[in-house]
Amino acid sequence: MVIVVLGVAGSGKTTVGTMLADALHCPYLEGDSLHSPENIDKMTRGIPLTDSDRGPWLSAINARMRDFFDRGQNLVVGCSALNEKYRQVLARGMAIRWVYLKASPALIRSRLSDRKNHFMKVDMLDSQFDVLEEPLDAIVVDASAPPRAVVNRVLSQLGDIT
């Protein structure tokens, strides 16, 4: 099973995704690690990515996920996957379980203001919420809950995936 933990920057994708992967005894893939240097440079300068910027990045994540899916191995991925079009690219050729970390702009603004040494800055938050299309087919979890509670809720809703 491939599980994608999605949400805007600062929603807790990396924290929850890593904890979820540990609980499932499988690898965690940080989607941001597959951004091109050009994309990271743009975001560092406060320039929102375009669909054409995101296309190769989403395809690269899909390729990594497909490798695990085709081998029948579990994988947890952290990726913003902000709208349906992006999720379709990610899911191309496989079934994915989506976990949406839903958060208010105020919570995310607070978290991003406290975050240091990350390319995603608080002044880009509005662009993330502007393109966000909440998934209809996801496990939806309140991102303001403690990470352990979020993971436990996701695990209870996933059921037996072994």
Among residues of the chain, what percentage have pLDDT more than 70? 88
Q: Does the pLDDT of residue 122 top 60, yes or no?
A: no
Distance CA 78, CA 76 (A): 7
Residues 14-40: tens digit of each pLDDT: 999 999 999 999 999 999 899 999 998
Residues 77-103: tens digit of each pLDDT: 999 999 999 999 999 999 999 999 999
Average pLDDT, the chain: 88
Give residues with Cβ within 8 angstroms of 149, minimum separation 6. Answer: none
CATH code (residue 109): 3.40.50.300
DSSP 34: G
Q: 3-class DSSP state for residue 150?
A: helix
| pLDDT value of position 162 | 40
Q: Does the pLDDT of residue 9 top 50, yes or no?
A: yes
Residue with tokens 């809703």: 157
Global confidence as pTM: 0.86
Q: 3-class DSSP state for residue 120?
A: coil
Q: Are 143 and 11 in contact (CB under 8 A)?
A: yes
Neighbours of 95 (CB within 10 A): 8
Domain count, the chain: 1
| pLDDT value of position 161 | 47
Domain of residue 70: give its range: 2-158
Distance CA 39, CA 57 (A): 9
